[in-house]
Structure 1
Amino acid sequence: MADFTVSTEFLAKLAQDLKGCGDELDQGLKAFEAASHSGTGYDFLDEACGHFKEKWAFGLKKVRECVKILDDGLDKVQQSYDGTEQSITKALTPTAAQA
């Protein structure tokens, strides 16, 4: 039978990394907004930049929604594995009456 292990520490790190993903994208959007305030001097390029900024903001919103769902799910998975680990440890630990 194959071994199956789950690192709850890894799950916690994954959740943290996913949250950081949204923050990184947000920083990129803020930098883009700061750069676009001065304008490029070309209307067509300013319009394209505005369109890109809207798409980036929409994508960031979707990423944050997905990260929230994944984070909630990972939290539940981590709690389940921790609970299972504790239950197995308890079941396999002899009590004073059994000793």
Structure 2
Amino acid sequence: MALTTSAHNKTKAWFQGMISHAFITIGGQNITVQPYTLTLTGDVITLQFYLAETVSGTMTRVQVIDKDGAVWDDQPDSITKPALNGLLITFKYTLTRV
């Protein structure tokens, strides 16, 4: 039995409401970043975090944290961010009925 349209929409809204912040490891230190944008378009939740031009170094990990303090998503990476401009980190999640 598949989810109803109502249940599907409520699940997307719940997912959207669960995100709290991100821990970003840059230059060997963890910084906390609040969501810059969090949008729901159709079945796609787009979550963005912004690092200002004042932040620089090698970013090695981004962890999305939920409102309960648990790691929701954990992305190891290696991006060198100069202090010349900002950086927008984007995650996209798609919730589909099967």
TM-score, normalized by length of structure 2? 0.30
Q: Which has the higher strand share?
A: 2
Structure having the larger proportion of residues in helix: 1
Q: Which gives a bigger RCO, structure 1 or 2 (Cα 8 Å, sep 6+)?
A: 1
Question: Under a length normalisation based on structure 1, what TM-score does the superposition of the two structures give?
Answer: 0.30
Which has the greater radius of gyration? 1
